Amino acid sequence: MNNVSVLELIRVKISDDDIYNSGKASIFFDVYPNNQNITEELLYAHQPVTNHKVPIYATSPIAIGKLDYKITIKMDFTIIKGPAIIIARKGYAGRLFVVEDTEFIVHEDAYPIKPKSEFIENINLHWFANHYNEEFQANRTSTWGIGDFPRTRFSNMNITIPKINVQNYIAELYIRRKNQIDLIKEFENNVFNEMDKNILRIIKN
């Protein structure tokens, strides 16, 4: 099964009548700076001691750490005002996820994007991240080994944006689907955990 047919199965389809605009991603989004030299040693040496903490994101929706705001300023890290989308550049290259924090910084393994000012009201970040996540990952530089999804590749991606009311509706559908998948995973984990316990009881007896 090719990538197109897979996308057809997992995406909510958009009719031609519902399309708002289309073109290269660079038309609709600005790419913001990430930050180099954020190492485990740095995070360990500068553990937060104030209430004004700035989370750090890399290739996962879970923050890899936090720094005090004054430290981020002192080290000249670029602080992004949320919400925004983060695109994984390495690792899970092409992965998209939304960060809602009012301010955060991004590790060099990823980069943040935000709609241009003229499109802010016409792009639902959650819709975009869910709708294009699989396609972007399928278009990383390599599907084997260490892939990459550089800024230039993102900027040249062709995207189609439906009307905002359609985006909002589809975004809710994606959220419901994710919740259902999480429930199924939780059920499976509970079943397998119970099976493991029963096997251990049998072995012990």
Q: What is the pLDDT, as a whole number, of residue 189?
A: 66
Q: How far apart are CA 136 and CA 88, in angstroms?
A: 10
What pLDDT sits at residue 191? 61
Report how far apart the first and last C-alpha atoms of the chain are (Å, whole number): 47
Q: What's the whole-number mean pLDDT along residues 104-118?
A: 97
Residue 159 has pLDDT above 90, yes or no: yes
Ranges of each domain in the chain? 3-164
The domain defined by 3-164 folds into Adenine-n6-DNA-methyltransferase TaqI; Chain A, domain 2 (3.90.220)
Give the global pTM. 0.82
Q: What is the mean pLDDT of the chain?
A: 87
